[in-house]
């Protein structure tokens, strides 16, 4: 899938959270931070790869990036 905005990525992260029965509180606990901090990360205009990887690690996923000439 090709993503064109952070909104799309956040929607996919939230779908994974639902599919894996993981809450923002679960992510926060796993990384020693607060639920509010995780919420702030999800609301950022510019997510970093580190932010996305932090979320995915709780679900047992890894971030895989590839480039497509388009």
Q: Could you report the per-residue pLDDT of 14-59, keeping only the tens digit for each? A: 999 999 999 999 999 999 999 999 999 999 988 899 999 988 998 8
6, 25, 32 from 9: Cα distances, Å: 5, 19, 23
pLDDT at residue 27 in the model? 95
pTM of the entire predicted model: 0.81
How far is it between the farthest Cα atoms of the chain?
A: 40
The yes-or-no verdict on residue 2 having pLDDT over 90 is no
Q: What is the pLDDT of residue 18?
A: 96
Which backbone phi and psi does 16 adopt, to 5 degrees? -60, -40
How distant, in Å, are the alpha carbons of 1, 22, 25, 41 from that of 34? 31, 15, 7, 11
pLDDT(4) > 90: no
Residue 66 has pLDDT above 90, yes or no: no
């Amino acid at each position: 899938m090709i993503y064109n905005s952070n909104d799309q990525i956040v929607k996919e992260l939230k779908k994974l959270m639902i599919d894996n029965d993981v809450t923002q509180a679960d992510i926060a606990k796993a990384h020693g931070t607060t639920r509010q901090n995780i919420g702030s990360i999800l609301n950022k205009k510019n997510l970093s790869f580190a932010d996305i990887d932090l979320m995915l690690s709780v679900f047992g996923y890894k971030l895989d990036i590839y480039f497509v000439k388009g």
